[in-house]
Structure formats: structure tokens, C-alpha cells
Structure 1
Amino acid sequence: MRFRFIAPIAAVLTIACTETNTITGRDQFLMIPASQDAALGLEAMNEVKQSVKLVKGKPAERVARIGKRIAALSDRPDMQWEFVVIDEDVLNAWALPGGKVAVYKKMLDMMESDDQLAAVLGHEISHAVLRHGAESLSRAQAQNMAIAGLGLAVGTYTKSGETAQLAATLANVAAQGFVALPHSRSMELEADDIGTRYMARAGYDPRAAVTLWQKMQKMKEGSGGQPQWLSTHPTDQQRIDRLSAKMADYLAEYQRAKKS
């Protein structure tokens, strides 16, 4: 009998927490109100600062200069934007809710121009503006609630703890393979698109976004890697193709910025 209540509860929860993003037009599942983004991001950034070494001086100033220029022309210039460089040999960058952005030293070092760095920062700024962090956290919370409910229902129905655990495990695998990971890939492509628009709007050449992913692709050649269906990110070629297909729009934005 408990099975009957899981689907209706899940449906009500999904409807109640679904919002349409005014920038992309896509419906987002958000259990976290926007008013909490700044507090969540600030708390997480403070924890990061206590656990890692930050790069100071001109490299950090360069990232902050470019990042703030792009953020000021994004759809959320009012966020409490902060840009830091983490002194670690990691090829990565990330954004926290509320506008906290970090670039690792290795990623910064491989940027040959401000335009390429703008492509990285525009991408991360878009994640924050589009609330992808809050969306991912919301989906994880809902997934955990659903898996816990399934385990309880199966355990009650079968009177078997082992069967309940197996059901929860399989549900988790399915959720990761067919919900969480594909959705993460869609958010990455979304951030590529909006981020490239932002960098072009700020006067940075959007063609550098394609160059960036071509460089990333070349670095990975011959290194193997996990299958695409297990990756939280699109392939570099997917990103290159999608960006190239929209380049005329990005360049038009770039030309308008140069004339203004």
C-alpha cells in the first residue's frame, strides 16, 4: 500500500519546487530559495579559504578584473561576486551559489590570453547566475528522499531488509545514470552558451571559447577516460560543435560591445 503514496508525493514536490528560469526559459527544480544562495556560497567559500592556499598579486588581480567585468554585464550584476585563484596544480574552476568563483593555478597558467580566461570565467559566472549549484543540490536532496522512501516501502512490503537495500542501491544507480549525470551535462552546455554570450557582451572575443575547448581536447588525446554516459560533462567535441553553431550570434554581441 505504501507504494501508492510515493509517486503522488514526488509529483507534488516536483510541481511545488519547479521554477522557470527567465534567462534560459527552462524549468528548474529548486528546493532552495534564491534568498539563501548568498549565505550558502559565503559559508562554503570561507571554508575553502581556510583549507587551501590562495594565489595573491597580479594573477589574482587579473582574474578578478576579468571576472568582475563579465559579471557586471551578466543578468545578475547584483550578486556578491568574488574571484579567487587557488594555488594547486589542478586543471579546474568552479562557482558557488551567490557568485563565488575560483580558478586553480594550473588552469590560469594555461590561458594564453585574456579572451581564453574570459571563456572560463564566463562559464563559471553563468553557473552562478543560472543557479546550477542550487539546482544540483535540490536534485540530490530530492533523490535521497525518493531513495529513502523506496527502501522503506520495499522493506515494508517484502519484510526483507536485504531486498530494501538492493532496491535503494539500484534506484541510486539508475538516478545517477539517467537523471543526475545527463542533467549535469545539460547544465554544462547551458553555461557554455550563456557564458560565451556574457564574455562577448563584455568585449572578449567569443572565438576563444572554441579555442579553449580545442586545447582541452588536445590535452586529453590518448589519455583514454570514462565512457561519455558516465561523465558529468559533455565531450569537448560536443562543446566545440555547439559553440561553433552559435558563433554568429556571439560575434554579433561582441561587435556591439566593441562599438559601444
Structure 2
Amino acid sequence: MFSRLIRAALLAATPLSVSAAPVPANDAQRGLAALQAMDARVAAVGERLAVRGAPLCGDRQMRSGLLVHGLAQYAPAARADAAALFGLGDAPAVLAVVPGSGADRAGLQAGDAIIAVEGDDVATATAPQGAARFDAVQRVEDRIEAGLADGALSLTIRRDGRERAVRVTGDEGCASRFQMIPATRLNASAGPYVSVTSAIVEFVASDDELALVLAHELSHNILKHGARLDRQGTSRGLLRAFGKNPGRIRATEDEADRMALYLMARAGYDIAVAPAFWDRFGRRTGFGMFSDRTHSGRRDRMALAVREIALIRAQQARGEAPTPDFAGR
């Protein structure tokens, strides 16, 4: 896992329909549009895992299926193209709307400018100021999340020059956000944002494999692995490869591999993809992230997946909802 990066580069929105998609005018905008499709995919798969996996989560929240972006998060050199392609101004705007979510039911669309949240003016909340930064967008997302806590959210949006009031109802789900970070390294991380790099999105062969990666990171949040390692005094920095650190970290990674399959099964994804994915992923990454013994090797991850899949299949055959029985749940 890696520390969460600020989404300061190229992020994009998911349209509710093909007809709503912006048309790129140059190579830079085509790059933004390509990332738009990746972001939409991550949002949809993540939301499905979080909502359908809610019974396995201790910490839950009302989820809108709405993601936000703003001009401030783009690098200065990319702002003109982002503004032209997505219609961004000083106000935050809809980055993605997950199909079937509360935001979708409310009729929100990618490109809608968000003028107010629960009556609080945010019309200039993401105006660009110098270097790219994501904190302004994150504060808007925080306000949206807080406003939805009682199940319904009031927004004022601007579309085609007209302002309108919108009421969004939420769906209960696991308390994590999902994001895609443009990067060439195969990587993913847990935390307030479950993050995957664009390289991961390009590497996975299906939404089932993407669900496996996202569910693995979501599992770290559900099982509170960060807090556990902190209580143990486990170093996750430069000293992670020494002493008891590798074994403690590896135990959480194995648990996340296992828990991910239960989340996938509840969300209707094909858990059978796991062994082959870990084989392919392990061969691709080689000695990289596994050289410090903080992760099980390729063959061990494959074998662990095979064993856990058999347990899940047995539960399903008995008509039971897939539920893990290991400690830490």
C-alpha cells in the first residue's frame, strides 16, 4: 500500500448516458476523457462493493453515489482543457454519478455545478489558486457526506445556466470513498479514500478483477488494520522489513485477501478470478513490493484464494450469505 496522493492531476467525470459525454477537442482533452472512463469504472465498482457489503462493515455511512471535482485540483497547465472539456468554473462540479445510486435517482448529471450544500454557499469553493490541490474538493465532499448523514441531502445545482434544487437520498454502505489516481505504477491503498492507480485499472482484465483489488483495500478499512498495526507498534515505513513488522503486516494483507472475496461474493462479482489474478499480478510485480516479506508470495496468495473460495461456495450452497469466520471481523 502507499500513502494517499492528492488528486492534483487528471481526474474526470462519468456521464449518466453516452449522449452526456463531453467531446474532446485535442490530445490533452482526449487524455482527460480516457481517465474519465477509468474514474467512472472505479466509482461504480466501489459503490457496489460498499453498498452490498454493508452487513460486513462495522462503520457505515449513507452513500450518495456522487463524486465531485473542481478546477483547483488540476495542474495549472491542464486547467484550460479541464474547463473546456468539463465546463468547470469556480464552483465544484459533479465528477461522477454511479448508475442506480441516490445521485442518479435524483437526476444529477456529470457536469452539474454545485452551488450550495444544505443551504451553504459553495459557488467559489474550488476556484483555482496557484498550484494544484485537492483539499478544497475534499472539504466539499466532507460537507456532502455530513449533510447526507440523516438519509437525505439538499443541493442547489446549476445546469445550462439555470439553478435548481435537488434532494438526494442515500443508500447505506461501508464508510469509505473511492478514487483513481493517474500513475504508471501498479498500486492501491486504503484509508479515507480507497485508491487505485490508473495502471491498475488498465491492468485488470475485468470488473471482477477490479472489484478484487478495491475489495482488498476496502477490507483493510473494515477490519481496521491500520489501527491494529498502530497498537502493535508496527513500523510501516523504512523499518517495515525488520523484526516482527513483516509478519504483522503480512497477516493483515492475508486477511484482506480473504475478506475481499466475501465482499465480492455479496456484490455479485465472480470470486473465481482471484487465483489467476494473483498469479498474473505476482508475475508482473516480481520482487518489487513483496521483497520485504510484508505480503505473501504469489503461490501462497493463490492457494489462500482457492481455500477461501471453497468456504464461500459451501456457504452459498447452504443458502447462507457469504460471511467470514476469522478473527478481526
Hey, what does 2:45 align to over in structure 1? 66
Find the partner of 2:183 among 88, 91, 95: 88
Question: SS of the residue aligned with 1:49?
Answer: coil
Secondary structure of the structure 2 residue equivalent to 1:247: helix
Q: Which residue of 240, 248, 260 corresponds with 1:183? A: 248
Matched, 1:204 2:269: yes
Identity between Structure 1 and Structure 2 (%): 28
Displacement after TM superposition at 1:126 (Å): 0.3
Aligned to 1:157: none
Q: Give me the whole-angstrom Cα distance separating, in 1, the residues matched to 2:287 and 2:6.
A: 33
1:45-64 equivalences under 5 Å are 48-49=5-6, 51=8, 53-54=10-11, 56=13, 57-64=36-43
The residue aligned with 2:211 is: 118
Amino acid at match of 2:230: L
TM-score scaled by length of structure 1:
0.60
Q: CA deviation at 1:139?
A: 3.2
Q: CA deviation at 1:62?
A: 1.0
Aligned residue number for residue 247 of structure 1: 309
Q: Could you tell me which runs of 5 or more consecutive residues in structure 1 were left unpaired when the two chains were aligned.
A: 1-43, 144-171
The ranges of structure 1 where at least 4 consecutive aligned residues each deviate by more than 4 angstroms after the TM superposition are 50-53, 223-228, 252-258
Aligned pairs, number: 179
Mean Cα deviation higher: 71-80 or 185-194: 71-80
Q: Distance in 2 between matches of 1:135 and 1:218?
A: 30
Write the distance in 2 (CA, Å) between the matches of 1:188 and 1:61: 27
| Higher strand proportion (structure 1 or 2) | 2
Q: What SS class does the counterpart of residue 216 from structure 2 fall into? A: helix
Q: What runs of 5+ residues in structure 2 fail to find an aligned partner?
A: 14-35, 62-173, 322-329
Q: Provide Cα deviations, 1:120-160, integer angstroms capped at 9, x if missing partner.
A: 111111001001122233334x77xxxxxxxxxxxxxxxxx
Q: 1:213 aligns with which of 274, 278, 293?
A: 278
Contact 2:271 2:309 in 1 (8 A): yes
Bigger fraction of residues in helix: 1
Q: Report the TM-score, using the length of structure 2 for normalisation.
A: 0.48
Per the alignment, in what secondary structure is the counterpart of residue 238 of structure 1?
Answer: helix
Instruction: Return the letter of the residue paired with 1:49.
Output: I
Q: How does 1:1-260 map to 2 (within 5 A)?
A: 48-49=5-6, 51=8, 53-54=10-11, 56=13, 57-72=36-51, 73-74=53-54, 75-76=56-57, 77-78=60-61, 79-96=174-191, 99-140=192-233, 177-220=242-285, 223-224=286-287, 230-252=292-314
Offset, 1:244? 0.8
Deviation at 1:100, TM superposition (A): 1.8
SS, match of residue 211 in structure 1: helix
CA apart distance, 1:196: 0.8
| Separation of aligned partners in 2, 1:84 and 1:226 | 21
Are the equivalent residues in 1 in contact too, given 2:45–2:211 (CA < 8 A)? yes
Residue 226 of structure 1: CA displacement?
A: 8.5
